[in-house]
């Protein structure tokens, strides 16, 4: 897929759309000035000139951009997928840009996620050994392999390492790596277009089938049904299945017993929070890569790695983010006044507000409610109160949806959190949002955007 060509097409479509409307001016100012950067994991990354530009686009044009990209790509490639759009400024985007192009024909495998780059410690040694065993002898040892653990602990890295390793041994291996969300939305699209056969063929022919974050399986019966049959077909054919989740199967809402019991046929590998030594080792492993993508040549004092590792014990992605931030900040300081190396002074000032939020914030019902309110720019007493107008009712329903999805509160308890609403109101709201999520691109983007903010 040539992103520049697709972008031209997207612009042409939007221009037509906005012609002679009040949005024409916004189009020229905010959309035409964006730069397409890269595509990864069904997400298009666009670069904005500065923070204000980024905010404007984020607030107003994300859904239409995502929708137009999806259309343009599907017309160009014949593959129907829902693409998300992420806008950021250059420095942020450079950090997350993939190092090199993924191998042709293999979708969504990041070549940087290998066993070699995976640091093994007590917290993950079992999951690592099981993954290796699977990659060495797929379909025979542990099938399915179910990897679970908290956010940012290396589940995706390990899965992709299995894929990369099998591919290295045999470039013709048919590998499917898909997020559960994409699986579900692709299926719904296939049903809509009466194209289920192609969908089945694609997934049921894999040699290695990996599905990431199964906790996001939707309530729709068709998705669970399809997953169940895909699972059976592959398993019977001796093909390897790898599934990840943030929790053990029996704790995943919406997962039926028959799927849970199939997951139990294989092996469960839990990843725990890494200990301090492992965190330092991971940062040390990542350092050359981070220096490379940030274009920094400055040495980093060992103390700095220890300091960052001491700040958070439950999310490696955050630790990497902290290290990147320090290195970028140091780069700026160095331009101004050359420095010898990155020391604790620079680190402390760069990270002065970095760890504040994650350490005090856990995802509580109150946190979700307040975040949804902030997102829609309404007050908490609005959502808890009696108002029924759309500006308030929709955020309230979305808050209910997230409370149901993320916390383990039941409908009744959710109603209590939101001003004593009854069980059926909450249930109805959750179903409604879920249905819209599955059927409307706009709702999907909205929900995904909020979800990302909740977890970030
Ligand atoms: P998850 O899928 O569990 O949310 P990821 O696999 O996306 O987490 O990992 C988040 C980041 O942390 C990735 O950049 C990954 O490379 C890194 N990471 C996690 N665990 C390790 C490890 N043991 N060794 C090296 N990098 C790791
Ligand atoms: Mg992951």
pLDDT in tens, 189-227: 888 888 889 889 889 889 999 999 998 887 678 888 889
Q: State the pLDDT confidence band at 427, using cuts at 50, 70 and 90.
A: very high
pLDDT value of position 134: 97
Beta bridge partners of 242: 145, 210
Beta bridge partners of 192: none
User: What is the C-alpha end-to-end distance of the chain, expressed in Å?
Assistant: 30
Cα-to-centroid distance, 110 and ligand 2 (Å): 12
* CA pair distance 262, 260, nearest whole angstrom: 5
Q: What is the pLDDT of residues 82-116, one digit of tens each?
A: 888 888 876 566 555 553 333 333 456 888 899 99
Average pLDDT, the chain: 88
pLDDT value of position 95: 55
Note whether 131 and 162 are within 8 A (CB).
yes
Share of the chain above pLDDT 70, in %: 94
Cα-to-centroid distance, 223 and ligand 1 (Å): 28
Look up residue 133 and give its two tokens. 């065993």
pLDDT value of position 356: 64
Q: Which ligand is nearest to the CA of 272?
A: 1
Q: State the pLDDT confidence band at 49, using cuts at 50, 70 and 90.
A: confident
* CA pair distance 52, 291, nearest whole angstrom: 28
CA distances from 54 to 50, 60, 214 (A): 6, 10, 31
Mean pLDDT of 146-168: 95
- Does 316 sit in the ligand 1 pocket, CB within 6 Å? yes
Q: State the pLDDT confidence band at 162, using cuts at 50, 70 and 90.
A: very high
Q: State the pLDDT confidence band at 360, using cuts at 50, 70 and 90.
A: very low
- Does 323 sit in the ligand 1 pocket, CB within 6 Å? no
Three-state secondary-structure class, residue 85: strand
Q: Check pLDDT > 90 for residue 352.
A: no
Residue nearest to atom 19 of ligand 1 (CA): 154
Phi and psi at residue 175, to the nearest 5°: -115, 130
Comparing 16-25, 86-95, 320-329, 382-391, the range with the smallest average pLDDT is 86-95
pTM: 0.62
Residue nearest to atom 1 of ligand 1 (CA): 152
Mean pLDDT of 349-377: 80
| 173 vs 363, more confident | 173
Q: What is the pLDDT of residues 229-284, one digit of tens each?
A: 999 999 999 999 999 999 999 888 778 889 999 998 899 999 999 999 999 999 99
Residue nearest to atom 18 of ligand 1 (CA): 154
Look up residue 274 and give its two tokens. 């890494």
Q: What is the pLDDT of residues 367-392, one digit of tens each?
A: 999 999 999 989 999 999 988 898 99
* 144 preceded by a cis bond (ω within 30 of 0): yes
- Does 153 sit in the ligand 1 pocket, CB within 6 Å? yes
To which H or E segment does residue 191 belong?
A: helix 180-192
Cα-to-centroid distance, 327 and ligand 1 (Å): 19
Q: Which ligand is nearest to the CA of 215?
A: 2
CA distances from 453 to 181, 266, 367, 446 (A): 17, 34, 11, 11
């Amino acid at each position: 897929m040539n992103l520049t060509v697709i972008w031209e097409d997207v612009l042409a479509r939007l221009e037509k759309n906005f012609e002679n409307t009040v949005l024409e001016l916004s189009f020229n100012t905010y959309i035409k000035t964006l730069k397409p950067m890269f595509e990864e994991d069904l997400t298009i990354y666009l670069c904005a000139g500065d923070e204000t530009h980024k905010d404007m686009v984020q607030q107003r044009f994300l859904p239409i951009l995502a929708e137009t990209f999806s259309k343009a790509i599907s017309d160009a490639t014949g593959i129907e997928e829902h693409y998300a759009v992420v806008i950021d400024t250059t420095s942020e985007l450079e950090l997350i840009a993939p190092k090199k192009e993924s191998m042709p024909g293999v979708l969504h495998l990041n070549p940087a996620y290998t066993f070699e780059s995976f640091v093994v410690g007590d917290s993950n040694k079992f999951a690592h050994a099981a993954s290796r065993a699977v990659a060495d002898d797929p379909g025979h040892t542990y099938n399915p392999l179910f990897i679970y653990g908290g956010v940012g602990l290396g589940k995706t890295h390990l899965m992709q390492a299995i894929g990369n390793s099998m591919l290295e041994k045999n470039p013709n291996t048919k590998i499917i790596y898909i997020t559960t969300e994409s699986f579900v939305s692709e299926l719904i699209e296939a049903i809509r277009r009466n194209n289920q056969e192609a969908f089945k063929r694609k997934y049921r022919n894999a040699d290695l089938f990996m599905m990431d974050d199964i906790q996001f399986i939707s309530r729709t019966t068709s998705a669970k049904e399809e997953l169940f049959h895909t699972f059976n077909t592959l398993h019977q054919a001796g093909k390897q299945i790898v599934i990840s989740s943030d929790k053990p199967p029996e704790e995943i809402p919406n997962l039926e017993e028959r799927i849970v019991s199939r997951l139990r046929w294989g092996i469960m590998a839990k990843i725990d929070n890494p200990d301090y030594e492992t965190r330092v080792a991971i940062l040390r492993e990542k350092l050359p890569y981070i220096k490379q993508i940030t274009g920094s040549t400055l040495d980093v004092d060992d103390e700095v790695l220890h300091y960052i590792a001491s700040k958070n014990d439950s999310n490696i992605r955050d630790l990497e983010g902290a290290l990147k931030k320090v290195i970028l900040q140091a780069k700026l300081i160095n331009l101004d006044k050359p420095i010898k190396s990155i020391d604790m002074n620079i680190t402390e000032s760069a990270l002065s507000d970095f760890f504040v939020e994650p350490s005090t914030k856990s995802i509580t019902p109150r946190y979700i409610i307040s975040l949804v309110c902030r997102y829609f720019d309404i007050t908490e007493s609005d959502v808890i109160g009696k108002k029924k107008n759309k500006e308030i009712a929709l955020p309230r329903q979305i808050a209910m949806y997230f409370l149901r999805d993320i916390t383990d509160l039941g409908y009744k308890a959710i109603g209590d959190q939101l001003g004593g609403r009854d069980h059926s109101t909450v249930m109805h709201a959750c179903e409604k949002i879920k249905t819209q999520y599955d059927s409307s691109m706009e709702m999907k983007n909205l929900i995904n955007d909020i979800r990302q903010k909740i977890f970030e």
